[in-house]
Structure 1
């Protein structure tokens, strides 16, 4: 049943060419993931999940969200306000758009003709997501969110060399990344008398510090980009660049907010010749998103990186970060919002800091 469901979702995505990120109002395959840590494989009292299986990796997110929710009250009164919700939705999009499948064609991993739950070690997207799933999960386990005695040793299927598999291993290889995830997960022990909006901003700041540290460490995945078209590589680069803006604004990547930003993402891997805003088999929203991502990346490159620096400078207070989040929504979701307006507002905000 699991494979049939996944195949159906992948088929739907490939036919429609629009992002499929929800299944009955939850992230893709959510109902089939582990509801408790003991649902994952255990050997000799050590948790041994396989991070190259989609359901296991998606389970990491379900378990982390459930364990940290009691400490996220400042995010809002809803059940899906945690910033961690953006991660499983994004991961689901990678699955349904075919970005976790073997891009070399050498295996059927992740393809409808093979194991649809397989994450290919050759996938650049799967590699980047490793830093946003395995590392935070190991940190959460180390901080006692799944029980004080829980030890985790990730499985290492054939062809997955070079990826850290334990907290100690990852801390050695990526000390800064693990330290920042530790800081985020230690939020439960922080006694704060800050107003709720400032406490919220502080937690979001810790989350995005860790998130961006993971993305920067994912530079280790760069050689895998050779498996993709120039169009896909350019999109991947602009997708990474967009995170600089989102993170600086301390975006609250709740379920609702993340849906808005992820739904317009391209529902298939880009091929040679795909050029937004004129990709015929993609929706107007997908073409618009690809165009805006490309504009933000090229403009920053043209300005020698100063656009990102100016944006970071403008995000200097709780108030300006709130305004920044609103402006990003306008830029990405409202086709009538001019890029020149974006530039002029940033300039004004930066000079007021």
Structure 2
């Protein structure tokens, strides 16, 4: 069943990647307001010798991604020009899609956060914003800890949201304390990108391992947010979480053009209870197909023995990985110990 589901995902990726075969204008693919965001830590407020960042403002969280892309650019020069092949592009591009489609706004409508009068506000009640937090703050802090961000861990202060701050880590020490596994995986990735001996495919493997760990560690923490959305949007949220394991298995290239092209087929707004894919009238054919296939896969997985968001076995170390070679899927059982041993071997070269 996993192989069949994986085949469907591979077909989707190929289908939705056809339109981006030609080299695009890179600047046209940036996330919204990219050039307005900070490109250096000195663009943030400096208080008591620390750069103070409030990630509950879109521009300030986006700036963390921008600095991360700038500081890691030199490690990906050998894979392509203009930093386009930097696989970290997937993180800010996904955040930008969430912003463009209203998914960072307050789903309860108790506040104006994210709406017309306060468009740059990122709501702590947004399921998308909360999971994205752990795809931004821990990676950036892990990069700081490794030493590639140009500042030390005691030079940055991440501000917590107005309420429920205990759900979020906000420093290198607090993130390692509350989420040691995901921090270790991000730290390993940032150590490995500095090695001239590692392949791009292997980097993708370690990136996706860290990515999956980030959201798996906090998925249940924010399940209460589902109550704020329509059933159709919740189904899509669960299917998007479930799809990560498939994207990890095939090591989807999270480069700028690949991610931008793929996101053209994501829903352009929050789903309502009236939206039933593949028959959503104001969505394109590819958007309808993607929603339908991903939600169908999640329903199949959640009723089988496969890992799923509702299954306590959902851990990155339980996921099997597949190597696609000559159009064949070759099963490889990889554990965290295997990955750690492999990483250590690369780092000592």
Query: How would you bin the TM-score normalised by the shorter chain?
Result: 0.7 to 0.9
Task: Give a deviation string over 1:75-112, Cα, whole Å, max 9, x none.
Answer: 33452111110111110110111110000010000011
1:181 aligns to what?
186
The whole-number CA distance in structure 2 between the counterparts of 1:59 and 1:118 is 14
2:119 aligns to what?
116
1:281 positional shift: 2.0
1:209 aligns to what?
209
Are residues 1:143 and 2:142 paired?
Answer: no
| CA RMSD after TM alignment | 2.6
2:260 aligns to what?
259
Contact 2:134-2:214 at 8 Å conserved across structures: yes
The whole-number CA distance in structure 1 between the counterparts of 2:148 and 2:287 is 38
Aligned length: 298
The whole-number CA distance in structure 1 between the counterparts of 2:125 and 2:331 is 41
The whole-number CA distance in structure 2 between the counterparts of 1:80 and 1:90 is 15
Q: Once structures 1 and 2 are overlaid, which stretch shifts more, 154-163 or 40-49? A: 154-163
1:224 positional shift: 1.1
Q: Secondary structure at the match of 1:253?
A: coil
Are residues 1:70 and 2:74 paired?
Answer: yes
Q: Secondary structure at the match of 1:34?
A: coil
Select which of 128, 133, 153 maps to 1:130. 133
Q: Judging changes above 3 Å, is the alpha-carbon distance between structure 1 residues 63 and 314 closer, same or farther for their aligned structure 2 residues?
A: closer
1:322-333 matches, within 5 Å, as 323=327
Structure with the bigger percentage of helix:
1
Are residues 1:285 and 2:264 paired?
Answer: no
The whole-number CA distance in structure 2 between the counterparts of 1:291 and 1:23 is 31
The whole-number CA distance in structure 2 between the counterparts of 1:177 and 1:288 is 32
1:98 aligns to what?
102
Task: Give a deviation string over 1:266-299, Cα, whole Å, max 9, x none.
Answer: 1111111311001122222211110111122123
Q: Which consecutive unaligned segments of at least 5 residues does structure 1 have?
A: 1-21, 324-344
1:243 positional shift: 0.8
Query: Normalising to structure 2: TM-score of the pair?
Result: 0.79
The whole-number CA distance in structure 2 between the counterparts of 1:39 and 1:191 is 31
Q: Which consecutive unaligned segments of at least 5 residues does structure 2 have?
A: 1-25, 309-313, 335-349
Q: Judging changes above 3 Å, is the alpha-carbon distance between structure 1 residues 148 and 116 closer, same or farther for their aligned structure 2 residues?
A: closer
Contact 2:185-2:210 at 8 Å conserved across structures: yes
1:28 aligns to what?
32
The whole-number CA distance in structure 1 between the counterparts of 2:46 and 2:294 is 42
Q: Judging changes above 3 Å, is the alpha-carbon distance between structure 1 residues 63 and 294 closer, same or farther for their aligned structure 2 residues?
A: same
